[in-house]
Amino acid sequence: MVYDDRITKLCEEIAELVRPVRIIIFNEKHTPAGELISFKLCVVVKEGECIKTEQKIYLSLECELPFDVRVYTNEQWNNAIQDPETFAYRGILNGGVVLYESE
């Protein structure tokens, strides 16, 4: 699937900045005419403090579109997606698309 260049560019910058395991887009907002106006990403990192990683992304990177980032460690992510009641399972895993995955 092809995504807006602004989303692709931001994903590339996040990948370079925090070296995540994966980046998943799980929400996009569009105008009635179909114009993209905002989006949400899930960033799964190997380890570390999620809040500090979120802050690093917000303070270091810019995008002309408003965006939100939700960060999980790999361990948190793997635990969360085992439970069908979690937002990670319902909102991200089952509603999102992987845009980046480390090798």
In this prediction the pTM is 0.93
Of 98, 71, 72, the closest CA to residue 7 belongs to: 98
Task: Check pLDDT > 80 for residue 68.
Answer: yes
CA 3 remoteness from chain centre: 13
Confidence of residue 73 (pLDDT cuts 50, 70, 90): very high
Instruction: List the beta bridge partners of residue 19.
Output: none
Task: Give the pLDDT confidence score for residue 103 in this predicted structure.
Answer: 72
Q: What pLDDT is stored for residue 1 in this prediction?
A: 59
All structural domains of the chain, each given as residue ranges with its CATH number in brackets, are 5-101 (3.30.460)
> How many CA atoms are closer than 13 Å to the CA of 75, on its beta-carbon side?
4
